[in-house]
Chains A and B, each alone.
Chain A
């Protein structure tokens, strides 16, 4: 057991106009996760503490918060890997609703702009649309994205310009553009190569640093940039 100090940035728009810091001392097992600490605080110390959680197993992406200055999932961060004082803040760059809960609508709006669905008008085969292992490998990493928003929230390009699509939406575009079963890659590419799209990525790698699924987002975006050069410059008719 160890005593952890949770230093949490709290904000209640109904009670105050500015955020405040709250400290909680919690007895934690080394094998417990950060999310367990938050649940203990809410259950036993302060029921007004607000945070998102759903699956608690690193799949839904709901509990993404800024942990000691770096975005991550509270359910995927073990106490044994943490110092005694843990600072928690809501994700940067999204409007805060209350405490650690942020408004994710700007994030999902960007996602919708890249046609995040399979487009294929051909008659489907009797069973599923097949892909070779090589083709599947091209999108293998990008399909593991759980859309927690950590990457876009950590991107300085997004901090500077909220109209920028952000790494998450661009990765989603990659996921379908490089999917051999999809027939709208050209149209999708058009939707990302504008001023607030692909070219706003400066290869800062913050997104890669924070991605809880360890996706090489910047690498994927570079592949998209190379594809844009190939399609728009080298294969022009």
Chain B
């Protein structure tokens, strides 16, 4: 059990770093496309065209996964520093995981269906 927790912590930190790098690239692409490429890029037709392009769908899913992982893993990390009751920590951990899974599922559903 101790070993599993050990590995879990290592993976958590490692993925936090990896998703951080993905986020940096993803945010540059996102801002460039959505905010600095003129109004034409955010019209209904342009968005529809992007969402029909498999590369954009993959990009958006990777972006969504990275954002959600990075944000929620960060919250899970700092939560015990503010919430000291062990019971409350477990409850909040569950709530955060449920919210994260819901956000990802909803996003993937919107992007693919």
Interface residues of A (CB under 8 A from B): 156-157, 160-161, 190, 193-195, 199, 202, 225, 228-229, 232-233
Interface residues of B (CB under 8 A from A): 5-7, 9-14, 77-78, 80-82
Contact among B10, B77, B78 with A228 in the assembled complex (CB-CB below 8 Å): B10
Main secondary structure of the interface of A (DSSP, over half): helix
Main secondary structure of the interface of B (DSSP, over half): helix
Question: Are A232 and B10 touching (Cβ within 8 A)?
Answer: yes
Contact among A195, A202, A233 with B5 in the assembled complex (CB-CB below 8 Å): A195
Number of A-B contacts (CB under 8 A): 34
Q: What residues of A have a CB within 8 angstroms of the CB of B5 in the complex?
A: 194-195
Q: What residues of A have a CB within 8 angstroms of the CB of B14 in the complex?
A: 229, 233
Question: Are A233 and B11 touching (Cβ within 8 A)?
Answer: yes
Contact among A160, A202, A228, A229 with B82 in the assembled complex (CB-CB below 8 Å): A160
Question: Are B13 and A225 touching (Cβ within 8 A)?
Answer: yes
Question: Are B11 and A193 touching (Cβ within 8 A)?
Answer: no
Q: What residues of B have a CB within 8 angstroms of the CB of A160 in the complex?
A: 81-82
Selected A-B contacts with CB under 8 Å, 20 pairs: A156-B81, A161-B81, A193-B9, A194-B5, A194-B6, A194-B9, A195-B5, A195-B9, A199-B9, A199-B12, A199-B13, A202-B77, A202-B78, A225-B13, A228-B13, A229-B10, A232-B7, A232-B10, A233-B7, A233-B14
**Distance in Å: Cβ of A165 to nearest Cβ of chain B:** 14
Complex Cα–Cα for A233 and B11 (A)? 8
Q: What residues of B have a CB within 8 angstroms of the CB of A194 in the complex?
A: 5-6, 9
Name B10's closest neighbour in chain A (CB-CB): A232
Q: A156-B81, A190-B6, A232-B7 are in contact. List 11 more A-B contacts (CB 8 A).
A: A161-B80, A161-B81, A193-B6, A193-B9, A194-B5, A199-B12, A202-B78, A225-B13, A229-B14, A232-B6, A233-B7
Name A201's closest neighbour in chain B (CB-CB): B13
Q: What residues of B have a CB within 8 angstroms of the CB of A157 in the complex?
A: 81
Q: What residues of B have a CB within 8 angstroms of the CB of A233 in the complex?
A: 7, 10-11, 14
Q: What residues of A have a CB within 8 angstroms of the CB of B10 in the complex?
A: 193, 228-229, 232-233
Complex Cα–Cα for A190 and B78 (A)? 22
Complex Cα–Cα for A157 and B13 (A)? 16
Q: What residues of A have a CB within 8 angstroms of the CB of B6 in the complex?
A: 190, 193-194, 232
**Distance in Å: Cβ of A151 to nearest Cβ of chain B:** 18
Q: What residues of B have a CB within 8 angstroms of the CB of A156 in the complex?
A: 81
Complex Cα–Cα for A151 and B9 (A)? 24
**Distance in Å: Cβ of A4 to nearest Cβ of chain B:** 37
